[in-house]
Amino acid sequence: MRYNAYSDYFRQRFGTRVQKLSVDAGFSCPNRDGRLGTGGCTFCANEAFSPSYLRRVATVTAQLDEGIDFHRRRYRSAARYVAYFQAYSNTYAPTAILRERYDEALRHPDVTGLVVGTRPDCVGDEVLDLLAGYAAQGYYVAVEYGIESCHDRTLRAVNRGHNFACTAAAIRATAERGLPVGGHLILGLPGESRDDILAEAAMLNALPLTTVKFHQLQILKGTAMEHQYRDDEAFRQLLPQFALEEYIALVCDLLERLRPDMVVERLAGEVPPRFQACPERSFRRSDGRLLRNEEVPALVEAELARRGTRQGIRADIQNMNQQSTPSL
Ligand code: SF4
């Protein structure tokens, strides 16, 4: 492939297919429980604002059993599994509780590691040391940070509650412990031009990131952003709108500028249509059919092939050199 696909990364690392299994361990988020704020990020789906004590979450073990059963029926060939602590901020609890939940996942006989999704302002030395301790025992342990944007003005506009310096510090502190670090970015946040988005590649290149996920902004029902979109013409004017071909071209431009060693886990996102507040913004094929997420890699690959380029061909060399000497 013309970019570093995540499936290849796991295959090279483990010698087999590895499946991430999503787990909701019942954690909360400081941007909605009052510690930082109650409104949350403006793009965050309504469900995310329900108090965690109202959520009917099965045990970590039960969720893993269910996920493994589903994937074994779907793919038949047995794979290895990592527990993906995905919902909310999965380092936002006292360390004793975090240890309890992570230990439970790692006690599962089919689970070989953890991927922990969180906000960059929710990690301290104690939790990073805890995670590094699991890695020292031989488990695969990665941390995925919600970066969302590298631009502070955008982070303020979406009420993120932290700035990019906080993101960079958390990524560096995690990588310094030898843990693979992932980052998640939303493409097309309000006020960001195409050039602003492409400029993010150099900012990502300067960080010790192992993996990165991109997805297009989707306005979901019940979010603060849905109300902005419906009620505020000035806000709508700030929102970039990409047709499918434009989005594929943008992703290819971004990949060309991205460090060639960075592993790309996702190129676009897809939520079920019932959650979409603005279906008119969804990507459609030329026959009017809604684009499925799994169709995106082939479209990106075809566009890179048409251009005769690949990931990293236009990466910022100066920033790539800075990446090798991270500091806090
Ligand atoms: S997107 Fe994440 S950090 Fe933002 S409000 Fe929702 S759960 Fe919290």
Provide the CATH number for the domain around residue 12: 3.20.20.70
Q: pLDDT over 90 for what percent of the chain? A: 78
Q: Compute the distance from residue 321 Cα to the ligand 1 centre, in Å.
A: 32
pTM for this entry: 0.93
Q: Is a pLDDT exceeding 80 seen at residue 50?
A: no
So what's the pLDDT on residue 31?
95
Residue closest to 88 by CA, chosen among 59, 126, 125, 50:
50
User: How far, in Å, CA of 131 to CA of 261, rounded?
Assistant: 24
In a domain, residue 51? The reply is: yes
In a domain, residue 104? The reply is: yes
Atom 6, ligand 1: residue with shortest CA distance: 44
In a domain, residue 107? The reply is: yes
162 lines ligand 1 (CB under 6 A): no
Q: Considering its fold, how many domains does the chain have in total? A: 1
Q: Is a pLDDT exceeding 80 seen at residue 318?
A: no
So what's the pLDDT on residue 320?
56
31 lines ligand 1 (CB under 6 A): yes
Q: Compute the distance from residue 73 Cα to the ligand 1 centre, in Å.
A: 32
So what's the pLDDT on residue 105?
98
Q: Is a pLDDT exceeding 50 seen at residue 327?
A: no
In a domain, residue 121? The reply is: yes
Quote the domain boundaries for residue 59. 6-323
In a domain, residue 328? The reply is: no
Atom 5, ligand 1: residue with shortest CA distance: 40
Q: Is a pLDDT exceeding 50 seen at residue 328?
A: no
Residue closest to 87 by CA, chosen among 35, 47, 123, 140:
47
User: How far, in Å, CA of 63 to CA of 74, rounded?
Assistant: 17
88 lines ligand 1 (CB under 6 A): yes
In a domain, residue 1? The reply is: no
So what's the pLDDT on residue 51?
39
Q: Is a pLDDT exceeding 80 seen at residue 324?
A: no
In a domain, residue 195? The reply is: yes
So what's the pLDDT on residue 74?
79
Model pLDDT for residues 234-278, shown as the tens digit of each residue: 999 999 999 999 999 999 999 999 999 999 999 999 888 888 999
44 lines ligand 1 (CB under 6 A): yes
Ligand 1, pocket-test mutation among 29, 38, 86, 219, most atoms within 8 A of CB: 29
Q: Do the beta carbons of residue 148 and residue 155 sit within 8 Å? A: yes
Atom of ligand 1 nearest to the CA of 30: 8
119 lines ligand 1 (CB under 6 A): yes
Mean pLDDT of the chain: 91
3-class DSSP assignment, residue 216: strand
In a domain, residue 187? The reply is: yes
Residue closest to 213 by CA, chosen among 262, 178, 170, 174:
262
36 lines ligand 1 (CB under 6 A): no
DSSP string, 66-124: HHHHHHHHHH-S--EEEEEE-SS-TT-S-HHHHHHHHHHHHHSTTEEEEEEEE-GGG--
Q: What are φ and ψ of residue 136, in 5° steps?
A: -65, -25
Q: pLDDT over 70 for what percent of the chain? A: 92
Q: Compute the distance from residue 40 Cα to the ligand 1 centre, in Å.
A: 6
- The whole-number average pLDDT for the span 202-207 is 97
48 lines ligand 1 (CB under 6 A): yes
- The whole-number average pLDDT for the span 52-58 is 56
Q: Do the beta carbons of residue 120 and residue 172 sit within 8 Å? A: no
So what's the pLDDT on residue 271?
86
Q: Buried b / exposed e across 112-128, counting CB within 10 Å, b at 16+? A: bbbbbbbbbbbbeeebb
